[in-house]
Amino acid sequence: MTAADRAGRREALRRLGLLGLAATTPAMTPAWAAAPFDAAARDSAPIRMLCGISAGSGNDFAARLVAEKMHQLLGRPVIVDNRPGAGQRVALAELKHAAPDGRTLILCTTGPFTIYPHIYAKLDYDPVKDFTPIGAVASFDVGIAVGPMVKARNMQELVAAVKADNALAAFGSPGNGSLSHFVGIATGLATGLQLTHVPYKDSNTSSVDLAGGRLPILITGLSQLIEMHRAGQIRILAVSGAQRSELLPDVPTLKESGIAVSNTTTSAVYGPAGMAPELVDAFNAAAVAAVQGPGPREQLLKFVFAPAPSSPQQLKTLMAEEDREFARLVKLSGYRPE
């Protein structure tokens, strides 16, 4: 660690109120060495933060936010390496084969660990045995939106419209097996609607089809919908999370709309299997610090993300709960693994 790195780390720790921890150490011990990040700071090698989604995405931004804070707190270079493809599975394959030395991590949504095992007949990884959960950092909801084909102003009116006209029963999503896909399935099951899924490979095409009156309903991430909603081109009728979005305070949740569905996507940091507990704790502390405070919150909100930091155990519990829920939905829907 260079003198500049040490100085930067001291400043980052001072802002977090952690520099005072040095008071419990011998006088000759540098202040930065007493922080909870020390296990990950002993190695000076760069850290590669994999991201399985393209640069410019919300997940990519979250990865860069975490990487920058890790650099400040650990005094090590942290490089975001975008490896998009196969729904983040390309990046996960690289992580699986990396050494558990803390030099390779990933920021990934929980879907590949909790949805994919139920929709793919064969995966190249074991979602439990091949990785080490480090901690969640952020979450985001999907929105249920309608275009000019549908006159409904709320979910109750949408349910009534679809029951009256089967031509309105199609909903688009970012693809088979996505959270949006299963929010659509869950909504259909909860309301008794026979909805038809229309998977899109290109998110821009789905938005254009919705606004152009060629698709009645689109369920996708709020970041894709919010500007069109504000412009009056489409209407977001509900969000999938447990709480309303700060950016759309007038739009209710599905549960508030009388539909017993609540699903959120979580972005979290993972390492390869076999990481030492002290490394996991150090990286977790850095990841949590990355999304704390008003500054990171405002930055994440630009991508319609909300800070959602967790401990490693809390992330494991969340994944287990999601796994059970998606196993249930897949079974009820009759979806056949690919």
* Residue-wise pLDDT tens digits, 67-77: 999 999 999 99
Q: How far apart are CA 291 and CA 289, in angstroms?
A: 6
Strands 170-173 and 217-221: parallel
Strands 306-307 and 142-146: unpaired
Measured CA distances, 146 to 47, 207, 209, 211, 217 (Å) = 43, 10, 11, 8, 5
Amino acid in position 162: V
Contacts made by residues 163-166, CB under 8 angstroms, sequence distance 24+: 163/193, 166/194
> In the predicted model, is pLDDT for residue 31 greater than 60?
no
Phi, psi (deg, nearest 5) at residue 131:
-140, 160
pTM given for the model: 0.83
Q: How far apart are CA 318 and CA 226, in angstroms?
A: 27
> In the predicted model, is pLDDT for residue 58 greater than 90?
no
**Among 26-40, 261-275, 316-330, whose mean pLDDT is lowest?**
26-40
More reliable by pLDDT, 258 or 329 = 258
Q: Give the pLDDT score at 33.
A: 41
235 burial (CB, 10 Å; 0-12 / 13-18 / 19+) is buried
Q: How far is CA 94 from the centre of its chain?
A: 19
Amino acid in position 264: T
Q: Give the pLDDT score at 27.
A: 40
pLDDT band at 2 (very low <50, low <70, confident <90, very high): low
Closest listed residue to residue 262, CA positions, set 181, 198, 335, 187: 187
Classify 159 in phi/psi space as left (phi over 0), alpha (psi -120 to 50) or beta: alpha
More reliable by pLDDT, 144 or 21 = 144
Amino acid in position 199: P
Bridge partners of 106? 50, 270
Tokens of 198: 């229309």
Tokens of 223: 């970041």
Measured CA distances, 227 to 52, 211, 232, 257 (Å) = 25, 12, 9, 22
What single DSSP character describes residue 167? G
In the chain, what are the domains? Answer: 36-140+265-331 (3.40.190.150), 142-263 (3.40.190.10)
In the predicted model, what is the mean pLDDT of the chain? 89
Phi, psi (deg, nearest 5) at residue 94:
-65, -45
Measured CA distances, 320 to 103, 131, 146, 324 (Å) = 27, 14, 32, 6
**Among 80-94, 138-152, 172-186, whose mean pLDDT is lowest?**
172-186
> In the predicted model, is pLDDT for residue 235 greater than 80?
yes
> In the predicted model, is pLDDT for residue 215 greater than 60?
yes
Q: How far apart are CA 187 and CA 192, in angstroms?
A: 8
* Percent of all residues in the chain with a pLDDT value above 90, rounded to a whole number: 74
